[in-house]
Amino acid sequence: MNKYLNEFIYYLEVERGLAKNTVASYRLDLERYLAFCREQRSLASLLEADRDVVMAYLLYLQSEGKVSSTISRHLASLKSFYRFLVTENFLLENPVADLESPRLLQKLPRVLTVTEVEILLSQPSSGNGGAGLRDKAMLELLYATGIRVSELVSLEVEHVNLENGFIRCFGKGAKERIVPLGGTAGRCLEEYLLYGRSRLIGNKVTTALFVNWRGQRLTRQGFWKIIKKYARRGGIKKKITPHTLRHSFATHLLENGADLRSVQEMLGHADISTTQIYTHLTKGRLREVYDRTHPRA
């Protein structure tokens, strides 16, 4: 059973060129499914699994309290996997070809107000040595560009062009895009590169833009701890996630008149329908303004 999974993972990595995090998600989902097949159904081979087995697995996930978005993701992984098995002639028929995902309720992302963003970005102190300059640069960069946290921590020094005011970013599937920098983010990055990064690196050698106190590349988990710390320090009550500034970036741009296609390109969304979720937020904001200001609202 693991043979088929390993060949599928190789196909995702080499032929489709998917990002490491995406491939890792596929692997975790499918390993869980294979474990279910072995433990619950005692199948001698994955190829014996049929539609009923898959349905039993989805019901098992539901019984564990998994939300519909998680179940849909697992089903999407299974569909890709079985499609691969059929294409490679390991399997004659795809048991999940016409299986539909559970209906999803679109969950709107949580965003900060402009005031809350200003409070959050004002928390890091340059008096805290290299770490303070790094944290200020990271938060300003995230809000200025809307890049993903995985893209932030993957940045190399050479990806920053302060002279022309942009960064080169590599998103999902290693797709490159150019994202403009704001003046404030550019100045904070320059200060970090001049005075902060060398203090953190010491005598280490690395090409990573953002590093931890050991001089190694900062991780996503490390950044999450950092942003939660500053949210607490600023008294922000909303739940903060690593993507909060990305969501706030997109929403604030649209509220101030940016067109959807430009925001899509800056976010690195392959499909504009993914970007359109932010228009729901801006419409809600317009309604609030109307209700508060119109004489006959």
Q: Enumerate the active-site residues.
A: 148, 172, 243, 246, 269, 278
At position 273, the amino acid (one-letter code) is: S
SS3 184: helix
User: In angstroms, rounded to a whole number, what is the distance separating the alpha carbons of residues 75 and 82?
Assistant: 10
User: In angstroms, rounded to a whole number, what is the distance separating the alpha carbons of residues 180 and 145?
Assistant: 7
Contacts of 145 (CB under 8 A, 6+ apart): 167, 169, 179, 180, 181, 185, 249, 266
Please report which helix (H) or strand (E) contains residue 209, including its range: none
List the one residue out of 22, 49, 11 whose CA is nearest residue 33.
49
User: In angstroms, rounded to a whole number, what is the distance separating the alpha carbons of residues 164 and 178?
Assistant: 11
Going across the sheet that includes 176-180, the strands are: 160-161, 166-170, 176-180
Please report which helix (H) or strand (E) contains residue 169, including its range: strand 166-170
User: In angstroms, rounded to a whole number, what is the distance separating the alpha carbons of residues 186 and 178?
Assistant: 15
Contacts of 3 (CB under 8 A, 6+ apart): none
Report the DSSP beta bridge partners of residue 122.
Answer: none
Quick one: DSSP state of residue 208?
Answer: B
CA distances 256 to 77, 97, 292, Å, are: 38, 43, 18
Cα torsion angle, 188, 189, 194, 196, sign: positive
